[in-house]
Amino acid sequence: MDKLTQYQEIIQSLLSEYSDRRSNHEVDSQCIFDLQRNHFQVVNVGWSDRGRIYGCVLHLDIQNDKIWLQYNGTEIDIAQELVDRGVPKSDIVLGFQAPHRRPLTDYAVG
C-alpha cells in the first residue's frame, strides 16, 4: 500500500472512531472526507439548551506526503494518536502552531 493511501486510511479510521464516540441524541458528530484533495474534518451539528451547535472540531490534511494537523478543538492528542498508529513524527506537521514555533516540537516543520 502506498503512503498516501495508508495515511488516508489511518486518518479516516481515527476520525471515524472519534466521531462515533462523540455523537449523541442532541449533537451529531459528522466526518467529512475529501479523498481527491486530501482534506479530513469532523464537525459537530445539532442543538443544545443554549442554541445551535455547528463547528469544526478536527481538521487534518495530507500535503506533500505529510499529515498536517490544521485544527484540534478536542482534548485528544491527535498527533500522538497518529504516532500510535504508525505515522512517524517526521511526517506530522502541527499546522496550528506558528511556523517559527514548529522547530521547537518533536514533529515536522513543514
Q: Where are the beta strands (DSSP E) in the chain?
A: 27-34, 39-48, 51-63, 66-72, 92-93
Q: How confident is residue 107, by pLDDT bands cut at 50, 70 and 90?
A: very high
Domain boundaries, the chain: 3-104
Q: Each residue of 31-75: pLDDT tens digit? A: 999 999 999 999 999 998 899 999 999 999 999 999 999 999 999
At 57, list the grid cell: 472540531
Q: Has residue 22 got a pLDDT over 80?
A: no
Q: How confident is residue 79, by pLDDT bands cut at 50, 70 and 90?
A: very high
CATH 1.10.10.10 fits 3-104, yes or no: no
Percent of the chain with pLDDT over 90: 88
Full-model pTM: 0.92
Q: Has residue 14 got a pLDDT over 70?
A: yes
Predicted local distance difference test score (pLDDT) of residue 1: 84
Tell me the sheet residues that pair with 56. 43
**Residue 36 DSSP SS3:** coil
